């Protein structure tokens, strides 16, 4: 027991790290800044995120994960290595055991890439656990019971919907549409409607500030003050900086098509669910986790369109990493659902 045990929720937008015995110790953006010529890592995490869209020509800030899977192997390895060093200290006698979370729909090749990158980053043993299962454990859903529970984990790069019973995944669906696609939809809307080019950080700020899944219907009956936000960007016609105002209803209109695709993925899982488990899900409802689940009124939109009550889990952002930690502490209990190298 001299080696430390680490659980990593390797997300497209953020990476969270759990250390056995200490709890969640790190929550940093999954961004790495590297030099353009020799791919040398300059900064990782918060420091690198500050550089997004603002770097000089010789430095590139990028996200090594795309849609929940590894897009750039060497940089992911450097990022994992940075997080493991931060959790265990650079001078260590024993390599740690590391458990990493992956979306449920990844291919064998993508699984292998995560395992290999984790081992190369300095792990003694690498385990993989599927995101919906980790999210359900972290949201304190009694997954070992002989009853159906539905969990929808909406992160930055992928949406994972799964029905879990007797400690395993019965039906699952993973689509590579989530928070990042919502940011893209906002940026595209701003370009089409206002001829204004905005970066991904600005789009994310708009989503967090006034993003609402149901805004268009609500403001009309209450005659309440319309929520607005000033955004700055570059005019695509004149090429000069410009400031405009965007309203909550406009943001809602921009993101609606992406939200409907997320709901369609959830419906796809409900359609494949065995009847016995479907009746359990109607009783218990759908549990939503992940950062994008915190989008205002997304649970209400999901309830309206699926007819199944939905609720957002407590600490939705931390459910996956907490579940990974619990699984890491009780590997024997969950060994059917974990792959190992």
Residue range 10-35: mean pLDDT, rounded: 89
How high is the pLDDT of residue 216?
Answer: 61
How high is the pLDDT of residue 224?
Answer: 58
Q: Which of 77, 69, 241 is nearest to 156 (CA)?
A: 69
- Confidence class for position 338, pLDDT limits 50, 70, 90: confident
- Confidence class for position 195, pLDDT limits 50, 70, 90: very high
Q: Which of 122, 191, 131, 130 is nearest to 156 (CA)?
A: 131
pTM over 0.95: no
Superfamily of domain 5-134+319-340: ATPase, nucleotide binding domain (3.30.420.40)
Edge-to-edge strands of the sheet including 97-102?
23-29, 14-19, 5-10, 97-102, 125-130, 338-340
How high is the pLDDT of residue 187?
Answer: 94
pLDDT (tens digit per residue) in 154-184: 988 889 999 999 888 899 998 989 999 999 9
- Confidence class for position 309, pLDDT limits 50, 70, 90: very high
Q: Which residue in the block uniquely carries the two structure tokens 């390599």?
A: 95
Q: Which residues contact 66 (CB under 8 A, 6 or more apart)?
A: 12, 157
DSSP state of 107: -
Residue range 49-72: mean pLDDT, rounded: 84
How high is the pLDDT of residue 233?
Answer: 92
Superfamily of domain 179-255: ATPase, substrate binding domain, subdomain 4 (3.90.640.10)
Residue range 195-201: mean pLDDT, rounded: 90
What number does CATH give the domain 142-178+257-312? Answer: 3.30.420.40
**In the chain, helix, strand, coil percent, each to 5?**
40, 30, 30
**Element of type H or E holding 98:** strand 97-102
Domains 142-178+257-312 and 179-255 in one fold: no
Instruction: Identify whether the C-beta of residue 94 lies closer than 8 Å to the C-beta of residue 184.
Output: no
pLDDT at residue 55 greater than cutoff 90: no
pLDDT (tens digit per residue) in 201-257: 899 999 999 999 987 655 455 545 678 899 999 999 999 999 999 999 999 999 999
Q: CA 305, 308, 309: angle at the middle one, nearest 5? A: 110
pLDDT at residue 58 greater than cutoff 60: yes
Instruction: Identify whether the C-beta of residue 15 lies closer than 8 Å to the C-beta of residue 107.
Output: no
pLDDT at residue 11 greater than cutoff 90: no
Coil, strand, or helix at residue 187? helix
Percent of the chain with pLDDT over 90: 49
Percent of the chain with pLDDT over 70: 96
Residue range 122-151: mean pLDDT, rounded: 90
Domain boundaries, the chain: 5-134+319-340, 142-178+257-312, 179-255
């Amino acid at each position: 027991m001299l080696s430390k045990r680490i659980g990593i929720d390797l997300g497209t937008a953020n990476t969270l790290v759990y250390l056995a015995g200490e709890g969640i110790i790190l929550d940093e953006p999954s961004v790495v800044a590297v030099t353009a010529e020799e791919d040398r890592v300059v900064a990782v995490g918060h420091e690198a995120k500050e550089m997004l869209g603002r770097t000089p020509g010789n430095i590139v800030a990028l996200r090594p994960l795309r849609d929940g899977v590894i897009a750039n192997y060497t940089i992911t390895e450097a990022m994992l290595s940075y997080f493991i060093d931060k959790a265990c200290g650079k001078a260590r006698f024993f390599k740690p055991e590391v458990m990493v979370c992956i979306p449920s729909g990844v291919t064998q090749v993508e699984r292998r890439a995560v395992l290999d990158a984790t081992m190369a980053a300095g792990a003694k043993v690498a385990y993989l656990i599927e995101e919906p299962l980790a999210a359900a454990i972290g949201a304190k859903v009694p997954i070992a019971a002989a009853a159906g529970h539905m969990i929808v984990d909406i992160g930055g790069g992928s949406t994972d919907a799964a029905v879990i019973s007797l400690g395993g995944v019965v039906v699952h669906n993973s689509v590579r549409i989530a928070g990042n696609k919502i940011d893209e939809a906002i940026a595209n809307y701003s370009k089409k409607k206002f001829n204004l080019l905005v970066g991904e950080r600005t789009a994310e700020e708009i989503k967090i500030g006034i993003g609402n899944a149901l805004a268009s219907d609500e403001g009309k009956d209450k005659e309440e003050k319309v929520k607005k936000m000033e955004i700055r960007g570059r005019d695509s016609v004149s090429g000069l900086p410009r400031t405009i105002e965007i309203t909550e209803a406009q943001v809602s209109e921009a993101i609606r098509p992406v939200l409907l695709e997320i709901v369609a993925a959830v419906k796809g899982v409900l359609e494949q669910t065995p009847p016995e488990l479907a009746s359990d899900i109607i009783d218990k409802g759908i549990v939503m986790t992940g950062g994008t689940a915190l989008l205002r009124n997304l649970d209400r939109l999901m309830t309206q369109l699926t007819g199944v009550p939905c609720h957002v889990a407590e600490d939705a952002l931390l459910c996956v990493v907490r579940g990974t930690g619990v699984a890491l502490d009780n590997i024997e209990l969950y060994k059917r659902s974990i792959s190992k190298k």
